[in-house]
Amino acid sequence: MATLITGGGGFIGSHLVDLLREETNESIIILDNFSTGTKDNIAGFDRVEVINGSVCESDIVDGAVSRATEVYHLAAAVGVEKIVDNPLDSLQTNLEGTENVLEAAAEHQVPTFIASSSEVYGKSTAVPFAESDNRILGPTTSPRWSYASAKAVDEAYGLAYHDAEDLPVVVGRYFNIVGPRQSGQYGMVIPTFVEQALAGEPLTVYGDGTQTRSFTHVEEAVRATYELLHDPDAHGEVFNVGAPQPTSINDLAERVIELTGSESEIEHIPYEVAYDEDFEEPQQREPDVSQLEATLGWRPETELDRILEDVIEERREPTVPEAAE
Ligand code: UDP
């Protein structure tokens, strides 16, 4: 038997693979279509089987789940840019994919972790956000809020399967998970700023830069993920998974410039130029982690500078020059 990680080739998934390889002797099955993940993230690992497929294909999902003793469902369309550019694809992956995973997990009675997102809080400003707080979303015509709705439905599905089918399910709401291996390709701010700073280009701060995010080290996020699924008291519950230390995007840009020693300047870009006219975004984001801490006995707290140092070190690593012909 094995542990199944959907989206195991992705940024968070591949760090979970690292943790499981350290903590257990079980084999690992990764189901990934590598739409945003990369095979480099998991290349050369023993005990890891890779199924190249989509969570939208129910037969493949059922086959993989039937061989598993636990499931981490991390496969999803992620990244604000990707979601805004491909709303249909993102809805299908995030709704059908989760439905397929939960249906198979219930059929085979396999404990399942469902990855959700702090996006479900929408544009609420009532920080810090507790799991039972109200959510405030904009209109369905904005893809960002459809993504938030899809993630909320995923959560509700998970909880309903827990109640109706006795399926051990736990939901984690990730808050801006960052660290090495995260791609800047889909607009994520830390890899984008670090790459800009190292290249001596301006750091592109969207809006006035006063918006805040609570950046969370991926290593702490995957440890919390693993421990939540292994704690029967957590089943049937939703948990914020994040470090409760909000930072404004202006401050983030300044820290990146300082820590890289870059000469780059900061350039403010209006949202309508960065995205489009109707773009809206959460102004504040900070988790209330009391429930997480009460359950795990610890909370994510890696400081922003340490996170940035890890990402900068990775991005600075010299690439091996190609051999001369
Ligand atoms: N952001 C920015 N410049 C960029 C990319 C992102 O100022 O090049 C901002 C973005 O507007 C948001 C914050 O950084 O306020 C975090 O963006 P990200 O896409 O990483 O995560 P999310 O929006 O999902 O919190």
Is residue 319's pLDDT more than 90? no
Residue 187, ligand 1, Cβ within 6 A = yes
In terms of DSSP bridges, do strands 68-73 and 216-217 run parallel, antiparallel, or are they unpaired? unpaired
Residue 324 has pLDDT above 80, yes or no: no
What residue owns the CA closest to ligand 1's atom 24? Answer: 80
Per the CB < 8 A criterion, the answer to whether 285 and 240 are in contact is no
Residue nearest to atom 1 of ligand 1 (CA): 189
Q: Is 92 in the pocket of ligand 1 (CB under 6 A)?
A: no
Of the given ranges (55-59, 83-87, 123-127, 160-164), which has the lowest mean pLDDT? 83-87
Lowest mean pLDDT among 56-65, 130-139, 274-283, 307-316: 274-283
User: Which residue's CA lies nearest to atom 13 of ligand 1?
Assistant: 189
- Confidence label for 325 from pLDDT (cuts 50, 70 and 90): very low
Which atom of ligand 1 sits closest to the CA of residue 209?
Answer: 7
Active-site residues: which are they?
Answer: 147
The verdict on the CB of residue 213 being under 6 Å from ligand 1 is yes
**Ligand 1 and 256: CB distance under 6 A:** no
pLDDT over 90 (residue 124) = yes
Paired sense of beta strands 112-117 and 68-73, if any: parallel
Average per-residue pLDDT in the chain?
Answer: 94
Q: Whose CA is nearest to atom 14 of ligand 1?
A: 189
Is residue 279 lining ligand 1, measured as CB closer than 6 Å? no
Give the pLDDT of residue 45.
Answer: 84
Q: Whose CA is nearest to atom 21 of ligand 1?
A: 188
What digits encode the pLDDT tens for the residues 246-300? 999 999 999 999 999 999 999 999 998 988 877 889 999 999 999 999 999 999 9
Distance 111 CA to ligand 1 centre (A): 33
Q: pTM of the prediction?
A: 0.95
Query: What is the DSSP code string of 273-313?
Result: HHS-TT----S---B--HHHHHHHS------HHHHHHHHHH
Give 318's pLDDT tier (boundaries 50, 70, 90): low
The answer to whether 20 and 222 have CB atoms below 8 angstroms apart is no
- Structural domains of the chain sorted by starting position, each given as residue range(s) with its CATH number in brackets: 2-178+215-243+287-303 (3.40.50.720)
**CB of residue 82 inside a 6 A radius of ligand 1:** no
Confirm or reject: Cβ of 204 under 6 Å from ligand 1: yes
Q: Please choose, from the candidates 189, 250, 186, 187, the residue with its C-alpha nearest in 3D space to the C-alpha of residue 215.
A: 189
User: Pocket of ligand 1, candidates 213, 257, 267: which has the most ligand atoms within 8 Å of its Cβ, to mutate?
Assistant: 213
22 pLDDT tier (thresholds 50, 70, 90):
very high
For residue 48, the CA-to-ligand 1 centroid distance in Å is: 33
Q: Name the closest-CA residue to atom 18, ligand 1.
A: 188
Given its phi and psi angles, is residue 186 left (phi above 0), alpha (psi -120 to 50 degrees) or beta?
Answer: alpha
Sign of torsion over alpha carbons 134, 211, 300, 36: positive
pLDDT in tens, 137-163: 999 988 889 999 999 999 999 999 999
Q: How confident is the model at residue 38 (pLDDT cuts 50, 70, 90)?
A: confident
Ligand 1 pocket, 205 CB below 6 A? yes
CA nearest neighbour of 306 among 247, 262, 250, 263: 247
Distance CA 144, CA 185 (A): 18
**How far does the centroid of ligand 1 lie from the alpha carbon of residue 4, in Å?**
30
Ligand 1 centroid to 229 CA: how many Å?
Answer: 29
What atom of ligand 1 comes closest to residue 211's alpha carbon? 15
CA-CA distance, 137 to 165, in Å (whole number)?
A: 30
